[in-house]
Amino acid sequence: MTNDAALIDGIIERASAYVTRPPRGDDPVVSLAAPDRLIEIFAASVGLAIGDDAPSHDATAVLDAVDRVIEYSVHTSHPRFVNQNFAGPDPVAVVGDWLGAALNTTGATYEAAPVFTMMESAVLTKLARLAGYQSADGDDLPALPPAQNSPDGRAGRSSPSADG
């Protein structure tokens, strides 16, 4: 396993554990530390300064820093965390976000991201219906603008033909 693979696996393990088993009960909502104290804490692993001569760090140091980030962050999933604007993340939404980030696609055109374009159209169609809009032709499929390179120029309403 390469060093990058070990680092990635370590971050995934920590993030997954945090999402599926967030702090609860007697765990603190936040381990608040003053800025000077955080600088000291992170100096033991990767430091917080990013100077021109900042060194790279090995996986062990980076994973220690990940542990400190988790430890000293506000745990918005904690049952005692209360805020008028937001709360903890939904675990399924978090891993969906990970997948979207991992795919690193664009939503600019159907040709560049056919699945994401279809999902976007479906969500917009649903939101339009919730707002009282209906398709002019009563079609239940999402209506997309014509796509230059999609089969027959009617993206979302056809599937590729067998011959391409």
pLDDT in tens, 77-98: 999 999 989 889 899 999 999 9
Same domain, 59 and 136: no
Same domain, 80 and 112: no
DSSP 90: P
Q: How confident is the model at residue 139 (pLDDT cuts 50, 70, 90)?
A: low
Domain membership of residue 110 as a residue range: 105-164
**What tens digit of pLDDT does each residue of 55-74 get?**
888 999 999 999 999 999 99
Structure tokens at 92: 């399924």
Work out how many domains the chain is built from and give that number: 2
Surface-to-core class of residue 156, CB atoms within 10 Å of its CB (0-12 exposed, 13-18 middle, 19+ buried):
buried
Question: Residue type for 93, please?
Answer: A
Q: Is residue 94 situated within a structural domain? A: no
pLDDT tens digits along 87-137:
898 999 999 999 999 999 887 888 899 999 888 888 888 888 888 776 666
Residue 83 in tokens: 């805020």
Same domain, 123 and 55: no
Inter-residue contact 76 to 19 (CB < 8 Å): no
Residue 11 lies in a domain: yes
- Residue 98 falls inside a structural domain: no
